Amino acid sequence: GAVVSQHPSWVICKSGTSVKIECRSLDFQATTMFWYRQFPKQSLMLMATSNEGSKATYEQGVEKDKFLINHASLTLSTLTVTSAHPEDSSFYICSARFTGGNQPQHFGDGTRLSIL
Amino acid sequence: DAKTTQPPSMDCAEGRAANLPCNHSTISGNEYVYWYRQIHSQGPQYIIHGLKNNETNEMASLIITEDRKSSTLILPHATLRDTAVYYCIVRVATSGNTPLVFGKGTRLSVIA
């Protein structure tokens, strides 16, 4: 069964709207979660690393004021796309990893964001 | 983390074994090989991982060469539902928080 739950799975909204995406780890605690973005026919690109109780670490070229990440508990991280515009339309995917060693990273089912 | 090279696409007949190659010639001793797949419009799904020895689970087998510079993912009896993009990723196994970095992967098409 799924170990990472992501919600919502699909969002359509008007330009200028802020959109919040939730990522939950099920049955395990994740001190770190990851947020990826995927454009059509491209691979996943890491946006940021979300750390519980501290600030997220953003990849180069990702605007931290545009993509707000909050990781307030060990099982929940949220990504808010602020004042979204059509170019922010994409497939957003979160991921979490069991702590320790070589444990695999598990992914949510993604959120398809369409900005009109 | 070491880079990987995969063919962009492959076809496989339904019911036959699908053998997906991956080159990771710069892999270092403490790096694991991970395989994930992504079915259209879904998040990536973990398949298998290994360090040196061959590994098998209910989904697939992973064969790693003795010099660890390449590996092959084997789906023993491919079905239409195995059509997906398959990613081979090399990563250091640490207790830290290093994310997976995805390349372009191999698009596997299973044909009836």
pLDDT score at A31: 81
| List of chain A residues whose C-beta atoms are within 8 Å of the C-beta of residue B90 | none
Looking at residues A21-40, what average pLDDT do you find?
91
pLDDT at A55 over 60: yes
Q: What is the 3-state secondary structure (H, E, C) of chain A?
A: CCCEEEECCEEEECCCCCEEEEEEECCCCCCEEEEEEECCCCCCEEEEEEECCCCCEECCCCCCCCEEEEEEECCEEEEEECCCCHHHCEEEEEEEECCCCCCCEEECCCEEEEEC
pLDDT grade for A53, boundaries at 50, 70 and 90: confident
In the three-class reduction of DSSP (H, G, I as helix; E, B as strand; rest coil), residue B107 is classed as strand
**pLDDT tens, position by position, A62-94:** 999 999 999 888 899 999 999 999 999 999 999
* A50 contact partners, CB below 8 Å, separation of at least 6: A32, A33, A34, A35, A56, A69, A70, A71, A77
The per-residue pLDDT string of chain B (112 residues; one tens digit each, 9 = 90 and over) reads 669 999 999 999 999 999 999 999 999 988 999 999 999 989 999 999 999 999 999 999 999 999 999 999 999 999 999 999 999 999 886 655 788 899 999 999 999 9
Flag if A91 and B41 touch (Cβ within 8 Å).
Answer: yes
**pLDDT tens, position by position, B12-41:** 999 999 999 999 999 998 899 999 999 998
pLDDT score at B94: 64
Average pLDDT, chain A: 91
| List of chain B residues whose C-beta atoms are within 8 Å of the C-beta of residue A49 | 97, 99
Of A27, A47, A25, A29, which Cα lies nearest the Cα of A38?
A47
Q: Which of A6, A101, A107 is facing B93, going by the closest CB pair?
A: A101
Å from A31 to nearest chain B CA? 9
Flag if A109 and B42 touch (Cβ within 8 Å).
Answer: yes
Report the residue of chain B nearest A113, measured CA to CA.
B41
pLDDT score at B8: 97
pLDDT score at A51: 86
Q: Which of B34, B95, B102 is facing A104, going by the closest CB pair?
A: B34
Flag if B97 and A32 touch (Cβ within 8 Å).
Answer: yes
Report the residue of chain A nearest B43, measured CA to CA.
A109
